[in-house]
Structure 1
Amino acid sequence: MKEVPNHNQARPPAGSIREVGRYPIDLTGPHSHTLVIEPGVGSLSIGPAHLGRKADLYVEPDAHIDWTVFDAFATPAGSPWPRFLHYTGSDAGFFDWARERPIEEMTWVPILSADTVADASRSKLHALHVGLDPSGGRLHLQLPKRVDYFRLSMSGDLSRFSADGVRPYSLTLAPSTSRRNNGAPVLLPDLGELHQVTNLTLRNEPLAQPISLECLSRFPNLTSLSLWGNFCDLDQLACQARLTNLELRYMPDLGGLPPLDTLPLLDSFIAFNVEEITGKRLRQQLKTRANTRPWNGYTSVSKLRKPEWWAAEFGRPFSSWPKRLAKLANEAYDVAQAAMAQARSLADAEAAITAFTVRFNTLKGIETVEREDLGEAVRQLSQSDHLIGQPIPEEMAERWFDAARDY
C-alpha cells in the first residue's frame, strides 16, 4: 500500500493518483485528514463523527471543505475518483467544484441552520440524492442544466425542499413515513416545477404508513411510474392516460388498482413481489390485452405473495440490517417471542424484553438507526401473544428497554 509522506506540500497533478494507499489531504486545513483508498472501492463518505463507521472522513457539520483535494485522484482506468460521494453537512461547495470535475453520483444530507439556496445549474452532476431531516432550514436547489440525463432523488421531510430550472430526467421521492401502518396516509407536499417530470419513482417500505397517490394529479406529464412499497388511493392511476410504463414492486396491498386497459398507451408493465389475489388478476389482464394489442415492451407478473409472507419478511425491523447482524437479531427476537408467549406476569414479560435488549449491549455496529429498530422490536414484542391477561403498555416496555440497554 502506497503512502505519501506528510512533508510533501505540493499538490499532485489532477488524476495522477490511481493506486491504493494512504494519502494526507488538506480537506479542512493543512494535512487535516488521511484518505485511505482500498482496492475496488469507488465511494467515499464524509460527515460528522457521530456517523461512526458510516463515514470514512470525519468533518464538523459546518466545516468548510476544499473539494478540489480530490482532483488528484482517479480510478485505475482514469476516471475521477471517488465515483460516488456521500456527504453530511452544510458545505454546498461541491456544486461549484462539479462545474469542472464531474460527479457521477452525490448523496447529500444537508445540515442547515437557515434557509439555503444552492446553485447546481452549471454543475456536471449526473445523479443527486438529497436526504432531508425534519429539522433545520429549507433547501432551494437550482437544477443542473449541463447534464442530459440528470437523476434527482429525495428522501425524508420533502416539505423542506424546492427547486427550479431544467427538469430532471427522472425523479425519485421517498417521503418519511411511520413504520407502523396505522396512521393517516402520507400526502406529498407541493413540489412546484418538479411536477413537470415525465419519469417518477415513489418509494416506501412494504408495511409502513401508506403514501396516498392523490399526489399523482399534480404530475400531468408522466410516461413512466414506478411504485415501491405501501400505497393507497391506487384508483388515481386511472387518470394517468400518458403512462407507457408502470412498475409495481413490494406492494402488499393493490386494493383499488384499476384494470390495465384503463391506461390506453401502456406498453410495459412489471408487478414483482405483490399481493397474490390481485396479482393473479393482473396475469390474466396481461394475456387478455395481448390478444387485442401486443405488448411492445417488457411485461411480467411474478413473486405473488400471501399475507403471511409480508409479516415474515418485513414485519420485523431488521430487514435493512447487514446479514450477520440481522441473523443475530432475528434469533434473539425468536427467543424473546417464545418467552413472551409463556409470560404469565409483567415480571415475566420484563425478563423476556430485558434479555432481548442486553443481547445487543456488546455487539458492534449498533448506532442510532439500529437502536431505533431495536426499540421498535421491543414495542412489537410487548404487543405479541402472552398469558398475562392484560395489555402491556408500550410506554412500560420502552422503560424496560431504556433501563437495560447500553447503546
Structure 2
Amino acid sequence: MTKNEGKFYISLMGENSHEVDIPAGQGSFSITPKGYGDAYVDADTPISWSAFDGMQIPAGGHWPRFFYYAGNDAGFAQWSQEREIESFFWALQKDVSLDLSKAHIRRLSLDCDRFKICVRLGADTRKAEFYGKAENFTIEDASGLKDVSFCFREDGAEGAEPFKLPVFAALAGIERIEIDAPVCGEPFDCESLLQFSALKKRQSKRRRLQPACP
C-alpha cells in the first residue's frame, strides 16, 4: 500500500514533484493553481493522474475518495475509465468539451461560473452538480443520471422576469432535482421543471396518525 498520510512525495508533474502533508483520516485531495490546496499546479500544466494508482485507505479501497481540482487538464476523464472515483469536483479555468461517458465517477461537480462546458456523462455517474450560470451548461448525454443539483449564480435585477431553466433534453429521465438560487435574485419559474417527467415525489418519513375510533 502506498503511503497516503503524513508527509510524503507524489509525482504529479514528474518524479516526486510535490511534497504533501495529509492529516490522518483525510479522504480527499485538492489540486489548485494557488490558495488553498494539498498540491499547487498551474492551471494549464498537465497532471499525471496515475500518480494516485495503488494508493488505498487502511481498510481497503481507493484513496483519495474525493478530488477537488481547479485547472484545465481533462486527463482525469481517461484515467477514471480504469480507476473508480467516488466524487470529483472540477472548477473550470477555460471553456471545455468533455466526454465522460466511460468514466467511473459516481458523483461529478462542475463549477462553470465563468466558463462554458459541453459534457457527455455515462452510466456510472449517478449524481451531477452544476454551479454557475445556466447558459454555460450543455449536456449532450446523461444516460445513467438520476439525481441533479443546480446552484445558479444569476445576477437578476429587481423586477426582472422569473428565471427559467433551459431545456435539458438529456436530463429528461432524472428522478430528483435540487435548485439553489440567490435569496435576493430573480424569482424562479417552476413551470420549467415540467420537462422532467420522471421526477419522483419525496415521501414524508413522518408517521401518519390514524383518527381515533368513536
- 1:19 and 1:99, CA in 2 relative to 1: closer, same or farther beyond 3 A? closer
Q: Which structure is richer in relative contact order (CA contacts within 8 A, separation 6 or more)?
A: 2
1:151 maps to 2:127: yes
Partner of residue 175 from structure 1, selected from 135, 152, 156: 152
**Within 2, Cα distance between the matches of 1:28 and 1:158?**
34
The reply to whether residue 20 of structure 1 matches residue 5 of structure 2 is yes
Contact 1:27/1:65, CA 8 A, preserved across alignment: yes
More helix by share: 1
**Which region of structure 1 is more displaced relative to structure 2, 23-32 or 103-112?**
23-32
Distance 2:159 2:39 in 1: 39
- Residues 194-247 of structure 1 show CA distances to partners (whole Å, capped at 9, x for unaligned) of 133121111234454432213112222211xxxxxxxxxxxxxxxxxxxx31xx
Q: Structure 1 residue 28: deviation in Å?
A: 1.9
Instruction: Give the superposition deviation at 1:82.
Output: 0.8
Q: Which residue of 1 aligns with 2:61?
A: 79
In the alignment, which residue of structure 1 is the partner of 2:187?
210
AA in 2 matched with 1:25: I
Q: Which of 175, 180, 195 is the aligned partner of 2:172? A: 195
2:42 matched to which residue of 1? Answer: 60
Letter in 1 for 2:100: A
What secondary structure, in the 3-state scheme, does the structure 1 residue paired with 2:108 have?
A: strand
TM-score norm. by structure 1 comes to: 0.47
Does residue 140 in structure 1 map to residue 121 in structure 2? no
Moved >4 Å (runs of 4+): 205-208
Equivalent residue for 1:118, pick from 89, 92, 98: 98
- Of the three residues 105, 110, 113, the one matched with 2:87 is 105
The equivalent of 1:34 in structure 2 is: 19
Question: Alignment partner of 1:41: what SS?
Answer: coil
In the alignment, which of 91, 104, 127 is matched to residue 107 of structure 2? 127
Provide the rounded CA distance (Å) in 2 between the counterparts of 1:124 and 1:171: 17
1:192 Cα deviation (Å)? Answer: 2.6
Secondary structure at 2:193 match in 1: helix
Inter-partner Cα distance in structure 2 for 1:32 and 1:156: 33
What's the CA shift for 1:30?
3.0
Distance 1:119 1:169, change over 3 A: same
TM superposition shift of 1:78: 1.6
Instruction: Give yes or no for contact 1:150–1:168 (8 Å, CA) kept in 2.
Output: yes
* Residue of structure 2 equivalent to 1:377: none
Give 3-state SS (helix, strand or coil) of 1:95's partner: helix
Residue 52 of structure 2 corresponds to 70
C-alpha distance in 1 between matches for 2:39 and 2:99: 25
Give the C-alpha shift of residue 26 in structure 1: 1.8
Contact 1:102 1:124 (C-alpha < 8 Å) held by counterparts: yes
Counterpart CA distance in 2 for 1:211 and 1:92 is 33
What is the Cα deviation at residue 171 of structure 1? 0.9
Structure 1, unaligned runs of 5 or more: 1-15, 224-243, 246-267, 271-285, 292-407
TM-score (norm 2): 0.86
Q: Which has the larger radius of gyration?
A: 1
CA distance in 2, matches of 1:20, 1:119: 32
Per-residue deviation at 1:150?
Answer: 1.2
**Structure 2: runs of 5 or more not aligned:** none
Q: What secondary structure does 1:122 align onto?
A: coil
- Distance, in Å, in 1 between the alignment partners of 2:169 and 2:39 is 35
Deviation string 1:359-397 (CA, Å, 9 cap, x unpaired) is: xxxxxxxxxxxxxxxxxxxxxxxxxxxxxxxxxxxxxxx
Answer yes or no: is the 8 Å Cα contact 2:113–2:153 preserved in 1: no
Aligned sequence identity (%): 29
1:40 shift after superposition: 1.6
What do residues 254-274 of structure 1 show as CA deviations (whole Å, max 9, x unaligned)? xxxxxxxxxxxxxx248xxxx
Q: Deviations over 1:55-101 (max 9, x none)?
A: 22111111111101011321111211111101111111111111111
- Give the Cα–Cα distance (whole angstroms) in 1 for the partners of residues 97 and 120 of structure 2: 8
SS in 2 for 1:23: strand
- Please give the alpha-carbon distance, in whole angstroms, between the structure 1 residues aligned to 2:178 and 2:4: 38
- Listed as ranges, the matches of 1:322-401 within 5 Å are none
Q: Which of 162, 169, 174 is residue 138 of structure 2 equivalent to?
A: 162
- 1:219–1:78 Cα change, 3 Å: same
